[in-house]
Amino acid sequence: MEKRLSIIIPSYNMAHLLPRCLDSLIASGVPEAFEAIVVNDGSKDDTLEVALRYRDAHPECIRVIDKPNGNYGSTINAALPQARGKYVKILDADDWFSSEALAKFVDELAGTDADMVVTHFTQIHPKGVKELAKYNLYGKEPYEYGKTYPLDEVLSGGYIRFFLMHSLTYKTELLLKNGYRQTEGCSYTDLEWDVYPLFYSRDIVFFDTNLYQYNLDREGQTMDPKVLSRSLDQLGRVTENILGFYEKYPREQLSPERKAFLDQFYRNRIRLMAKSYLLDLPRDMFDAQEFAKVDVKLQEHMEKLGLEPIKLFPANKIIRVDAYKYWKKHRSRLPKALEAVNSAADKIMTSLYRVIFR
């Protein structure tokens, strides 16, 4: 019997957190509808033993792949060809699903044939602060839940600026047919999960289901600023790969609507790479010579893709100082005092946005 959903769970040294993840799936009460594929990526702790214990207790819905360490992308590449579900979704071992939402979600999947499925997710910040993330714009929800739309129509609507892994589920056959693979040997390859299927998905559906519970309150989490600052080379590698993918893709096969969206998406990825160095990285860790090399590569990609130059304003949209333009002129970051003011304003505006629009 075909499962409706395959859930790939990349796991490296997650023995202490994997039980919470798997318990959230089992508690849904619908083991016949999904399979969880736990991929042990050469863990040095008891992750494999934990996974096997759950598999033995719940063979109807839990499978285990044990492999040498190859980092995040290698776990997806190992599991995807073995997925038996009509749809496939990634769940990191330090995160979990809402059990009630999973039961609802597999029901919803039974009624759709869309290539791409989008659901809500919760971001769990330090001190347990929760933030519901929906694909809306200033509180507006422009798409009817459960209705399938041509993807070009959604991408051209102006409401969607980007998608994140936590919200995305794809038809398994679609990924396999198009030879989907993620970069191995480095982190942040979930960016590839966000973008590559946009090149070949035909249609999309949104469900009013808060499924993924994204835990940002964990030391060592890859989006922790301290971890990110040590891993910019890996983020740079993945950025290079997704830019190279677009350069090699026969862009004449893309509709004007999809190409316009992808141009915007890629320009934003370049902007975010520059932002990591010029605004996010602690000042004492910033190396102007290192970023100069990165910047040369980014400029080369922009020229090949014919993208407009980027602008790098602070998130608060109050202090309109272009940090990238400043870099180009002075080959340095913004003055320390101005960065401090920007940081404070960013925090205030982010808090207001959450209160007003979430």
> Among the three residues 215, 247, 271, which one is the final residue of a domain in this structure?
215
Least confident of 22-36, 124-138, 223-237: 223-237
* pLDDT, greater one: 223 or 355: 355
Which amino acid belongs to residue 327?
W
Domain around 106: 3-215
CA dihedral 277, 283, 287, 293 (to 10 degrees): 20
pLDDT category of residue 226 using cuts at 50, 70 and 90: low
Residues 47 and 167 in one domain: yes
Q: What CA–CA distances, in Å, run from 297 to 39, 87, 235, 280?
A: 34, 36, 14, 20
Mean pLDDT calculated for residue range 261-289: 93
- The string of pLDDT tens digits covering residues 308-319 is 999 998 776 677
pLDDT attached to residue 229: 65
pTM exceeding 0.95? no
pLDDT category of residue 341 using cuts at 50, 70 and 90: confident
pLDDT attached to residue 316: 66
pLDDT category of residue 139 using cuts at 50, 70 and 90: low
Above 90 in pLDDT, residue 162? Answer: no
> Among the three residues 185, 215, 245, which one is the final residue of a domain in this structure?
215
Q: Which residue in this structure is represented by tokens 């160095």?
A: 277
Q: What's the number of domains the chain is made of?
A: 2
In-domain check, residue 220:
no
pLDDT attached to residue 320: 77
Above 90 in pLDDT, residue 237? Answer: yes
Nearest one of 283, 189, 202 to 238, comparing CA atoms = 189
Residues 184 and 277 in one domain: no
In-domain check, residue 196:
yes
Measured in residues, the chain has a length of 358
pLDDT attached to residue 347: 73
pLDDT category of residue 137 using cuts at 50, 70 and 90: low
Mean pLDDT calculated for residue range 164-193: 95
- Provide the CATH number for the domain around residue 89: 3.90.550.10
Residues 194 and 304 in one domain: no
Residues 200 and 293 in one domain: no
Residues 77 and 199 in one domain: yes
Residues 204 and 351 in one domain: no
pLDDT attached to residue 1: 60
pLDDT attached to residue 27: 98
Nearest one of 277, 199, 202 to 242, comparing CA atoms = 199
Residues 209 and 335 in one domain: no
Residues 147 and 296 in one domain: no
Q: Radius of gyration (Cα) for the chain, nearest Å? A: 21
In-domain check, residue 98:
yes
pLDDT attached to residue 358: 52
Q: Per residue, what are the HEC states of the chain?
A: CCEEEEEEEEECCCCCCHHHHHHHHHCCCCCCCEEEEEEEECCCCCHHHHHHHHHHHCCCCEEEEEECCCCHHHHHHHHHHHCCEEEEEECCCCCEECHHHHHHHHHHHCCCCCCEEEEEEEEECHHHCEEEECCCECCECCCCCCCEEEHHHHHCCCCCCCCCHHHEEEEHHHHHHCCCCCCCCCCCCHHHHHHHHHHCCCEEEEEEEEEEEEECCCCCCCCCHHHHHHCHHHHHHHHHHHHHHHHHCCHHHCCHHHHHHHHHHHHHHHHHHHHHHHHHCCHHHCCHHHHHHHHHHHHHHHHHHCCCCCCCCCCCCCCCCCHHHHHHHHCCCCCHHHHHHHHHHHHHHHHHHHHHHC
Work out the burial of residue 322: count CB atoms within 10 Å of its CB; fewer than 13 is exposed, 13-18 middle, 19 or more buried: middle
C-alpha torsion sign, points 181, 184, 189, 190: positive
Above 60 in pLDDT, residue 17? Answer: yes
Above 90 in pLDDT, residue 44? Answer: yes
Mean pLDDT calculated for residue range 134-163: 87
In-domain check, residue 75:
yes
> Among the three residues 164, 191, 215, which one is the final residue of a domain in this structure?
215
* pLDDT, greater one: 348 or 332: 332
Joined tokens for residue 335: 């003055």
- The string of pLDDT tens digits covering residues 188-221 is 899 999 999 999 999 999 999 999 999 988 665 5
Q: Report yes or no: 165 and 212 within 8 Å, Cβ to Cβ.
A: no
pLDDT attached to residue 225: 53
In-domain check, residue 251:
yes
- The string of pLDDT tens digits covering residues 245-274 is 999 999 999 999 999 999 999 999 999 999
Residues 35 and 182 in one domain: yes
Average pLDDT, the chain: 91
Which amino acid belongs to residue 87?
Y
Residues 255 and 327 in one domain: yes
Helix 288-305, helix 256-275: angle, nearest 10: 170
Residues 31 and 125 in one domain: yes
* pLDDT, greater one: 349 or 75: 75
